[in-house]
Amino acid sequence: MVATDNFQKTSEPAQFNLAAYLNERQKLCDTSLDQSIPIIYPEKIYEAMRYSLLAGGKRVRPILCLATCEMIGGTVDMAMATACAVEMLHTMSLIHDDLPAMDNDDYRRGKLTNHKVYGEDIAILAGDGLLALAFEFVATKTPQNVPIERTLQVIARLAQALGAAGLVGGQVVDLESEGKSDTSLETLNFIHNHKTAALLEACVVCGGIIAGASLEDVQKLTRYSQNIGLAFQIIDDILDITATQEQLGKTAGKDLKAEKVTYPSLWGIEESRTKAKELVDQACAELESFGEKAVPLQAIAHFIINRNH
């Protein structure tokens, strides 16, 4: 990920080189993801899975998972299998989201969408393959210095974040809301707490659980991640209006076209930015008790609202 030059626009701690940190972590995740799917027979499905997984996203989710594990006292090695899994899960949700039956998009991460290259049948299966692989990966590749009970908790949390109580439920309400100009703020919050924030929360909380976070730590991590999750979506809505297709790597202006109610359509762009900043400030405050160790997660929170893609 190339962190934006303007990431210092808000007041994240000085002396922490976020751009270098993100760059190094992104490379680490990319290497592990590349190794996670060898191409064997039937080659087509492995190629389709690799096509979207290695298409170059920002890797915010695995980076959050690793950073939280380290903040709580664990290591990158302990959390890498889960970090790869969350990126596989995120990628599968993007592949399915882009299908003609859902958002019907031709571009993602600056490339043609999976179904445009491999066809709808293989794209559905590539998503399914990534979904299954993610859980296999956590179960079989988490190192033995992570107690098995923690790994089980991670599997349960990830499944919960993805299913009807998470991404799937959020997507259903999102689909139902298309073209409805009277969608309430409550419904909008439901959609994004489930579609976007639930997986971000799982990334952070699972990173913490792997490192042995206490119940109190998990509560702080939950509040941190729920706040950044909503801020992430507010910025996503703003970028859909203000950024170009080139910057986004996907079709811009889709929300307006689909007549979707969004945060900027309810509050306006400036008010939406202010709310996102307030959420990030609240998120950072949740981690104050971790002192210096919280600096990466606090800086990532600021990156989320200052990004341009």
DSSP 244: -
Nearer to ligand GRG, 12 or 105 (CB): 105
Return the ∠ at Cα 304 (arms to 11 and 224), rounded to 5°. Answer: 80
Q: Binding to ligand GRG by residue 193, rule CB under 6 A?
A: no
Residues 194-213 that bind ligand GRG (CB under 6 A): 195-196
Contact 177, 198 (CB under 8 A): no
Instruction: Specify whether the backbone of 59 is left (phi greater than 0), alpha (psi in -120 to 50) or beta.
Output: left
Nearer to ligand GRG, 201 or 217 (CB): 201
Q: Binding to ligand GRG by residue 142, rule CB under 6 A?
A: no
The residue type at 233: Q
SS3 of residue 107 by DSSP: strand
Which region, judged by CB under 6 A, interacts with ligand GRG, from 90-98, 147-155, 263-271, 278-286?
A: 90-98
CB of 200: closest distance to ligand GRG in angstroms?
9
For residue 35, the tally of other CB atoms under 10 A from its CB is 9
Structure tokens at 35: 């190794």
Q: Which of 139, 159, 168, 285 binds ligand GRG (CB under 6 A)?
A: 168
User: Which residue, judged by CB position, is nearest to ligand GRG in the bound state?
Assistant: 57
In angstroms, rounded to a whole number, what is the distance separating the alpha carbons of residues 164 and 34?
30
Q: Which residues pair with 108 in a beta bridge?
A: 111
Which region, judged by CB under 6 A, interacts with ligand GRG, from 3-11, 57-65, 209-217, 258-266?
A: 57-65
CA distances from 219 to 12, 191, 230 (A): 22, 22, 17
Which region, judged by CB under 6 A, interacts with ligand GRG, from 93-101, 116-124, 150-158, 258-266?
A: 93-101
Q: Binding to ligand GRG by residue 57, rule CB under 6 A?
A: yes
Q: Binding to ligand GRG by residue 171, rule CB under 6 A?
A: yes
Q: Binding to ligand GRG by residue 102, rule CB under 6 A?
A: yes
Contact 84, 29 (CB under 8 A): yes
CB of 230: closest distance to ligand GRG in angstroms?
11
Does 42 sit behind a cis peptide bond, omega within 30 degrees of 0 on the bond before it?
yes
Q: Which of 32, 67, 82, 96 binds ligand GRG (CB under 6 A)?
A: 96
Nearer to ligand GRG, 175 or 185 (CB): 175
Beta strands in the chain (DSSP E): 107-108, 111-112
Which secondary-structure segment (H or E) carries 40? Answer: none
Which region, judged by CB under 6 A, interacts with ligand GRG, from 4-12, 94-102, 177-185, 278-286?
A: 94-102
Q: Which of 32, 82, 93, 272 binds ligand GRG (CB under 6 A)?
A: 93
**Interacting residue ranges for ligand GRG, rule: CB under 6 A:** 57-58, 60, 90, 93-94, 96-97, 102, 109, 131, 162, 167-168, 171, 195-196, 236
